[in-house]
Chain A
């Protein structure tokens, strides 16, 4: 596959074969390329790689859509919305934090480059009818999954959200801990910040606007990717 019968010259960066003088090379680069032989893409050769690559991509997409493969997300700095019909989680933590953006970030606006966010961490979560939308500048990419019999599984789900709404119920909740003493989901917050944690959490009609970071490993059965002008 790698050896090609149709390479005309053994040298990969062709010099001018005429004379080896130094002025000759500068001349050939200077001319408009009339007599210089340019390299170019051979379609059949490119297809040797394009066909397996396409098959591989299709395989990955199918495995993901069947929920066999977990895909990992870590998004930040983009407006990003997550909605779900219901969320069941074990190991829940929540605390406030201050997120700072990169200098001169176009997303900063009049916030001075800092946003107050709520960091939620869930160790294991099961989401029903997950819908994620990402604003890609004009169009939204919609990722829908888990509307069928098998639900979306997410592990180590950590989000810094500016806006979180839903009907939540907690089990064994401890409110008012110091954020640096949290234990349930394995994330430690800054010292001296209000926080809460719970053993299990159930949220109906979840809606999160994640301005900052969303991260986690998702298993997305029934994956559907589409572009749309409106988000979730």
Chain B
């Protein structure tokens, strides 16, 4: 193990390591959802002010969604708070912002928040079900052999 190898490997492994330490997909989806909603409703400010409070809230909620998504990525220790706020804003955008950016942004936001909420750091590596079953069979067989040997 030599630390001098790391710069040659470039940004890809570094990014991989960075991604492993935060709910990356969740935060990304929440950010994208908020951005999509903003994209669908770039009404001029004059009209928004005419509509009044509800028009302003229509902009506020997707902005909060984007912020929550970015903060989930850059401050993952607070992810529970950000994901709860994110899911509430996503649901609220149904009422305030074009049915949640015509469903698309709302679904992205809800799925992203749920993934961020369910994410836990420092987990065992993922093992597929088939591999797990095989491992279980191997251990039981091993026990059987082990029991058989002394007899």
A12-B76, A71-B95, A72-B55 given as contacts; is B50 within 8 A of A39 (CB)?
A: no
When distances are taken between beta carbons in the complex, the residues of chain B under 8 Å from A222 are none
Closest to A64 in B: B94
Docked Cα-Cα span, A99 to B25, in Å, equals: 38
Q: Which of B95, B104, B114 contacts A53 (CB 8 A)?
A: B114
B113 at the A interface (CB under 8 A): yes
Residues of A within 8 A of B136 (CB): none
Q: Once the chains bind, are B122 and A76 in contact (CB under 8 Å)?
A: no
- The listed residue (A33, A54, A60, A77) touching B13 by CB distance below 8 A is A33
CB distance from A214 to the nearest CB of B (A): 8
> Is A143 a contact partner of B99 (Cβ separation < 8 A)?
yes
Known A-B contacts A13-B76, A71-B95; the reply to A42 vs B16 at CB < 8 A is: no
**Inter-chain contact B77/A74, CB cutoff 8 Å:** no
Which residue of chain B has the shortest Cβ distance to A78 in the bound complex? B40
- B151 interfacial contact with A, CB 8 Å: no
> Are B110 and A57 in contact, with the CB atoms below 8 A?
yes
Give the chain A neighbours of B80 by CB distance below 8 A. 2
> Given that A13-B76, A57-B91, A74-B48 are known contacts, is A36 also in contact with B54, CB under 8 Å in the complex?
no
For B17, list chain A residues within 8 Å (CB).
28-31, 33, 36
Residues of A within 8 A of B54 (CB): 72, 217
> Contact: A49 with B40, CB < 8 Å?
no
A110, CB-defined interface residue at 8 Å: no
At the interface, is chain A mostly helix, strand, loop or mixed? Answer: mixed
Contact status A215-B51, CB under 8 Å:
yes
With A45-B117, A46-B117 as known contacts, state yes or no: A23 contacts B110, CB within 8 Å: no
> A56 within 8 Å of B by Cβ?
yes
Known: A53-B114, A69-B95. A215 touches B121 (CB 8 A): no
| Per-position binary interface string of chain A over residues 43-63, scored 1 when its CB falls under 8 Å from any chain B CB and 0 otherwise | 111111110011011001100
Residues on A with beta carbons closer than 8 Å to the beta carbon of B124: 37
Chain A residues with CB below 8 A from B41, complex form: 73-76
With most chain B CB atoms within 10 A of its CB, the pick from A36, A38, A42, A141 is A38
A45-B119, A53-B114, A73-B99 are known; give 5 further A-B pairs, CB within 8 A. Answer: A39-B122, A73-B41, A75-B40, A134-B102, A141-B103
Q: Can you name 23 A-B residue pairings with CB atoms under 8 Å?
A: A7-B122, A8-B122, A13-B121, A27-B6, A29-B18, A30-B6, A31-B13, A32-B13, A37-B122, A37-B125, A38-B20, A38-B125, A40-B119, A40-B123, A44-B118, A60-B91, A61-B94, A72-B54, A72-B97, A74-B47, A74-B55, A74-B58, A213-B43
Enumerate chain A interface residues (CB-CB to B < 8 A). 2, 4, 6-9, 11-14, 23, 26-33, 36-50, 53-54, 56-57, 60-61, 64, 69-78, 99, 102, 134, 136, 141, 143, 156, 158, 186-187, 213, 215-217, 225
